[in-house]
Amino acid sequence: MNGEDETKLDYALRGKAWKVYWLLLKNGHPMSVREVQRALHFSSPSVANHHLEQLRELGLVAKQDIGGHYFLVSQVKIGVLRHFVKLGKLLFPRYFFYAVFSTTFFIFYLLFLMQGFTRENLFILMFATIVSALFWYEAIRIWSLRPF
């Protein structure tokens, strides 16, 4: 995908279309217009249909011939999606894994490796605290940018 296509998608995936795309990405299975409407609390099925068709025209979603359910055919990493990792039906900010990893090793160090309060240990404590706090801050900040 070139820069122009990415800019076009970034502009098109805003507001309710972004919420519909996120829902389909998160669920991982085909959804009907009514399911999308109910899940996102849209005022009518036609609003959901409009945004699903908009996503279909962008080439991100396809419609099943039988049943008329919509499903993702293309996953894009634009905007805030660049910072998320999908595991099954769950989407996590990438920084979440960094935060868990750094915090786990910090706790391991505190419980098993630290022997007294030497200058080196205090430096390691300060460094590990700052690194873990930064990763948790970024994970929470990115999490707050999701559409719902």
Q: Is the pLDDT of residue 32 over 70?
A: yes
Q: What is the pLDDT of residues 62-89, one digit of tens each?
A: 999 998 999 999 888 888 888 999 888 8
Under the banding of pLDDT at 50, 70 and 90, the label for residue 1 is low
Q: Which residue has the higher pLDDT, 28 or 105?
A: 105
Provide the CA 86 distance to its chain's centre, in angstroms.
Answer: 7
Q: What is the distance between the alpha carbons of residues 27 and 24, in angstroms, rounded to a whole number?
A: 5
d(CA 104, CA 136): 12
* Over residues 28-47, mean pLDDT: 96
What are the residue boundaries of the structural domains of the chain, listed by start?
3-76, 83-143
Q: 16, 36 in Cβ contact below 8 A?
A: no
pLDDT beyond 90 at 7:
no
Give the residue, 146 or 4, on which the prediction is more confident.
146
pTM to 2 decimal places:
0.77
Please tell me the distance from the alpha carbon of residue 58 to that of residue 62, in angstroms, as a whole number. 10
Model confidence band, residue 110 (pLDDT cutoffs 50, 70, 90): very high
What class, spelled out in words, does domain 3-76 have in CATH?
A: mainly alpha
